[in-house]
Amino acid sequence: MNARDKKFLTAGIIVALIIAVLAPFLASSNPDGLESTAEKVMPNPETEPVLKSPLTDYTLPALGDSPIGGVISMIFGTILVLALAYGVGAVFRSRKAAGEDGGEE
C-alpha cells in the first residue's frame, strides 16, 4: 500500500470515528419508519427475539440511555466493522495471491 492510500484510509477511519462520536447527540428521538410501522402493526409483540442484541439501540446496558454510552457503543461498533472488513479483505487478498502463484500453465 502506498503512502497516498494509507493517508486516504486513515482519513476515512478518522471521519468514521467522528461520525460515531457525534451521532448519539444528533440522532432523533422519534422512531424511524421501520420502528414506527412495527409499533403500529404489532403494538404488543408476543414473541421474544431469538438472540438479544449486545448493544440494543446503540447503548450500553451498564450506562443506561446516556449519550456517553451511545458514543462508546458507536465507537466499538465502528472499530468492529472496520476490523471485520479488514479481515475479509485480507482473506480475499491471500486467496488472490495464492491463485496467482499456484498451478497456472
Is 74 in contact with 23 (CB distance < 8 Å)? yes
Q: Which residue has the higher pLDDT, 95 or 91?
A: 91
Residue 105: band (very low, low, confident or very high) from pLDDT cuts 50, 70, 90: very low
Q: Using H for helix, E for strand and C for coil, what is the string for 62-93?
A: HHCCCHHHHHHHHHHHHHHHHHHHHHHHHHHH
Q: Which residue has the higher pLDDT, 85 or 44?
A: 85
What digits encode the pLDDT tens for the residues 23-82? 878 877 776 777 778 778 877 766 777 777 776 777 777 777 777 877 888 888 889 999
The pTM (predicted TM-score) of the whole model is 0.63
Question: Chain-centre distance of CA 47, in angstroms?
Answer: 26
- What angle (nearest 5°) sits at the alpha carbon of residue 94, between those of residues 7 and 12? 20
Q: Which residue has the higher pLDDT, 55 or 4?
A: 4
- Per DSSP, the residues of 21-55 read HHHHHH--SS--HHHHHHHHH-SS--S--SS--TT
